[in-house]
Amino acid sequence: MTISHPMSPSERFKMSKAGKKTTQTSNKKNTASKHQSRETHNTVPVNESKKVKSEFKFDFHNPRIRLGTAFLLAVVVYLLLWTDAKPDSVDPWYRAFKLVDSATRVENPIQKQMLLNTGGNSLKELSVKYPYHSKIQLMLGIYYNIVGQFDSAITVEKEAIILSTGGTINPVEQDAQRQLLYAVFTKANNLLNSGNYVDAKKTIDTGVKYVPNNADLMSLVGAYYHRKGSLDSARLYYNAVLSVNPQNEFARTNLGMLVFQEGNQAYTNGQLETALTNYKRAAELNPKNADALSNVGIVYSRKNNYKDAIPFFQRALDVDPRHNNSISGLITAYIKTGDERSAEAVKRKYGIK
C-alpha cells in the first residue's frame, strides 16, 4: 500500500495553473464539459486529503511537533539540573563533613572532639575508597586545617587542586586553593617565628606553585626576606603587591614595620629628618601603629616643634590609651607650649602626680 503525501506548495501552484488552462479550453467547447472538468478536478484532492488525515506520520518539520518536542526536552533538563538533589541524603562525604563542621560550633570539648574524630575518620576512609574524588580531598583538607594538621592539609588540598583543574564535575579548585593558602600561611608563619627559614621558604614555594600570582603569598615572601634581614628584597615584594593592590593589609602592615625599623636606625644615628619621614610613612601604612605615631611626636619634640608633636601623641593614645611614651610626651608638649591646664588634665586622666 502506498501512503499518499500532502502536496507541496509548488505542486499545488502547478496543478492550479493546469486546472485554469483546462477550464479555459473547455469553456470554448461547451458549458457541460466545463462543469464535468471542475467536478473531476475537485474530487480527487478532497479524497486524498481525507486519506492523509486518517494516517499519522512523525514529521519534525511540523511546527506543533517541534514545539511539543522542545517542551519535553525543557522538562527533562529541569528535572536533571534544577531540582533539589539533597546530596547529603545519598553522599556519605556530606554527612561526614557535616559532623566536622558542626564540631566548630560545639562548646563541650569532649563532644567537639568526638564529632571531629568521627567525621575525620569517615573522610579519611572515603578518600582511600575514592582517591580521585576532588571534593572528598577538599573536605578532608578542611578537617586537617581545623585540627591543626597543616602538613596533611597542604598534601590533600594539592591533590584536590590537581584533580579539579579544568574539570566541570566537582569543580572545587578555588575552594581548595583557599584552604591551601590558610595552611601555608599558618605553617610558614610558625616556622618564621621559630627561625626555621629553610622550611618556611619551602612551604611558601609550595603555595606559590599551586596558587600563582596571589598577592598575599607575595607578601609572605616579603615577610620571609624581612625576617632574614634582607630588607631591600622584602621592600621589593611588598611594593610589588601594593602596586597592584594598594589596600593589601598584609603588605601594608609589614612594609610599615620595615620602614619603622629604618626610622629607628636613622633616629639612633641622629638623622632626624630621615627618621621623621620613615615614621610618618610607617604611620601612613599602618594607622594603628601607636609606636610610629608616638615617634613622630618625639622627633618633632627633639626639633622643639611641640605644637606639631601634640596631635601625633594624641593619635597614638587613641590607638593605645596606655602608651606611656605618648602620655609623657603629650604632657611635656603642653607644658612647653604654655598650656598648663591641658597638661594637668592629662595628668589627672592618667593618674600622674
pLDDT of 74: 65
Say whether pLDDT at 57 is over 70: no
- Which ranges of the chain does DSSP label H, i.e. alpha helix? 9-29, 31-53, 63-81, 92-103, 109-129, 134-147, 150-164, 173-193, 197-210, 215-228, 231-244, 249-268, 272-285, 290-302, 306-319, 324-336, 340-349
What is d(CA 200, CA 68) in angstroms, rounded to the nearest whole number? 64
Q: Which of 32-41, 60-69, 208-217, 252-261 has the lowest mean pLDDT?
A: 32-41
pLDDT of 87: 46
Model confidence at 64, in pLDDT bands (50, 70, 90)? low
What is d(CA 183, CA 138) in angstroms, rounded to the nearest whole number? 13
Percentage of the chain exceeding pLDDT 90 = 64
- Residue by residue, DSSP assigns 241-253 as HHHH-TT-HHHHH
pLDDT of 71: 64
What are the structural domains, with CATH classification, of the chain?
Answer: 86-194 (1.25.40.10), 213-286 (1.25.40.10), 288-353 (1.25.40.10)
Total Cβ atoms within 10 A of residue 216: 17
Q: Encode pLDDT of 5-37 as tens digits.
A: 444 444 443 444 444 444 444 444 444 444 444
pLDDT of 236: 95
What is d(CA 279, CA 214) in angstroms, rounded to the nearest whole number? 29
Model confidence at 169, in pLDDT bands (50, 70, 90)? low
pLDDT of 213: 87
What is d(CA 115, CA 98) in angstroms, rounded to the nearest whole number? 9
What's the mean pLDDT when you consider all of the chain? 82
pLDDT of 353: 78
The size of the chain, in residues, is 353
The more confidently predicted of residues 136 and 89 is 136
pLDDT of 24: 47
Q: Is 89 helix (H, G, I), strand (E, B) or coil?
A: helix
